[in-house]
Amino acid sequence: MIEPKTLKGFRDTTPELMIIKKEIIKKLEAIFESYGFLPIDTPALEYAEILLGKGGGETDKQVYRFNDHGGRDVALRFDLTVPLARFVSQHYNELTFPFKRYHIAPVWRGENTQKGRYREFYQCDFDILGTKSSESDIEILMIIKDGLLSLNIGDFSIYVNNRKILNSLLTKLDTTEKSAQILRTIDKLFKIGAENVYKELVDVVGISKKSTEDILKFLNISDSNKTGAVENAAIFSTLENYKSVLGKELSDPVIETEYIFKTLEKLNILKYFSYNPAITRGLDYYTGIVFEVYVKERMDFGSICSGGRYDNLTGLYSKTAIPGIGAAFGLDRIISLMEEEKILKLQGSKTKLLIFNLDDKLNPEYHKLASKFRENCINTEIIYEKQKISNQFKLAEKKNTPFVLFAGEDEIKNKKYNIKNIISGEESKLITFDEILKILKS
Amino acid sequence: MIEPKTLKGFRDTTPELMIIKKEIIKKLEAIFESYGFLPIDTPALEYAEILLGKGGGETDKQVYRFNDHGGRDVALRFDLTVPLARFVSQHYNELTFPFKRYHIAPVWRGENTQKGRYREFYQCDFDILGTKSSESDIEILMIIKDGLLSLNIGDFSIYVNNRKILNSLLTKLDTTEKSAQILRTIDKLFKIGAENVYKELVDVVGISKKSTEDILKFLNISDSNKTGAVENAAIFSTLENYKSVLGKELSDPVIETEYIFKTLEKLNILKYFSYNPAITRGLDYYTGIVFEVYVKERMDFGSICSGGRYDNLTGLYSKTAIPGIGAAFGLDRIISLMEEEKILKLQGSKTKLLIFNLDDKLNPEYHKLASKFRENCINTEIIYEKQKISNQFKLAEKKNTPFVLFAGEDEIKNKKYNIKNIISGEESKLITFDEILKILKS
CA B9 from centroid of its chain's CA atoms:
20
Residues B92 and B220 in one domain: yes
A38 contacts in chain B (CB < 8 Å): 15, 18-19, 349
Per-residue pLDDT of B384-417, as tens digits, reads 999 999 999 999 999 989 999 999 999 999 999 9
Residues B323 and B378 in one domain: no
Residues B51 and B148 in one domain: yes
Residues B151 and B121 in one domain: yes
SS3 state of residue A432: coil
| pLDDT given at position A54 | 52
CATH code of residue B274:
3.30.930.10
User: Does any domain span residue A81?
Assistant: yes
Q: Does B72 contact chain A (CB < 8 Å)?
A: yes
Q: Which of A295-304, B162-171, B172-181, B247-256 has the lowest mean pLDDT?
A: B172-181
Helices B363-375, A252-266: crossing angle, 10 deg rounding: 40
| pLDDT given at position A283 | 63
| pLDDT given at position A340 | 87
Residue in B10, B90, B136 closest to A384 by CB? B136
Per-residue pLDDT of B144-155, as tens digits, reads 999 999 999 999
Residues B306 and B368 in one domain: no
* Cβ <8 Å between B90 and A316: no
Mutate to test the interface with B, among A135, A137, A325, A405 (most CBs of B within 10 A): A135
Residue in A5, A106, A263 closest to B44 by CB? A106
User: Does any domain span residue A9?
Assistant: no
Closest CA to A129 of A92, A159, A161, A162: A92
Q: Does B361 contact chain A (CB < 8 Å)?
A: no
Q: Does A39 contact chain B (CB < 8 Å)?
A: yes
Q: Between A58 and A441, where is the model more confident?
A: A441
Residues B157 and B206 in one domain: yes
**pTM of the full structure:** 0.93
| Domain boundaries, position B408 | 353-441
A131 contacts in chain B (CB < 8 Å): 384-385
Residue in A39, A47, A96 closest to B19 by CB? A39
User: Does any domain span residue A217?
Assistant: yes
Where is the domain boundary, B340, B374, B401? B340
A8 contacts in chain B (CB < 8 Å): 70
Output b/e per residue, A298-319; b: 16+ Cβ within 10 A. beebbbbbbbbbbeebbbbbbe
For B308-315, what is the mean pLDDT?
90
| pLDDT given at position A18 | 94
Residues B271 and B392 in one domain: no
Residue in A39, A43, A91 closest to B7 by CB? A43
B70 contacts in chain A (CB < 8 Å): 8, 110
Phi, psi of B147 (to 5 degrees): -60, -50
Contact criterion met (CB below 8 Å) for B151 and B338: yes
Q: Which residue of B has its CA nearest to A145?
A: B371
Residues A290 and A418 in one domain: no
The minimum CA-CA distance between B108 and chain A, rounded to whole Å, is 9
The minimum CA-CA distance between A401 and chain B, rounded to whole Å, is 10
Q: Which residue of B has its CA nearest to A110?
A: B69
User: Does any domain span residue A1?
Assistant: no
Residues A275 and A360 in one domain: no
For B268-279, what is the mean pLDDT?
95
CA distance A400 to A395: 8
Residues B315 and B405 in one domain: no
Where is the domain boundary, B282, B305, B340? B340
Strand partners, A47: A74
* Cβ <8 Å between B4 and A50: yes
Q: Which of A21-35, B38-52, B108-122, B368-382 has the lowest mean pLDDT?
A: B108-122
User: Does any domain span residue B291?
Assistant: yes
User: Does any domain span residue A345?
Assistant: no
Interface of A with B in 390-419 (CB under 8 A): 395, 398-399
Q: What is the ipTM of this complex?
A: 0.93
Sequence-ordered alpha helix ranges (H) in B247-356: 252-266, 331-340
User: Does any domain span residue B346?
Assistant: no
Q: Between A309 and B226, where is the model more confident?
A: A309
Residues A334 and A384 in one domain: no
Interface of B with A in 111-170 (CB under 8 A): 120, 131, 133, 135-136, 138-139, 142, 146
DSSP designation for B63? S
Q: Which residue of A has its CA nearest to B5?
A: A90
Closest CA to A246 of A134, A169, A166, A162: A169
CA distance A286 to A292: 13
DSSP designation for B96? P
Q: Give the pLDDT band of residue B60 (cuts 50, 70, 90).
A: confident
CATH code of residue A378:
3.40.50.800
Mutate to test the interface with A, among B1, B23, B29, B41 (most CBs of A within 10 A): B41
User: Does any domain span residue B322?
Assistant: yes
| pLDDT given at position B412 | 97
| pLDDT given at position A58 | 56
Where is the domain boundary, B308, B340, B372? B340
CA distances from A227 to A165, A185, A278 (A): 18, 14, 8
CA distance A330 to A214: 35
CA distances from A218 to A165, A215, A239, B306 (A): 10, 5, 10, 67
Residues A369 and A400 in one domain: yes
Q: How many folded domains does chain B comprise?
A: 2
- What long-range pairs does A198-203 form, CB within 8 A, spacing at least 24? none
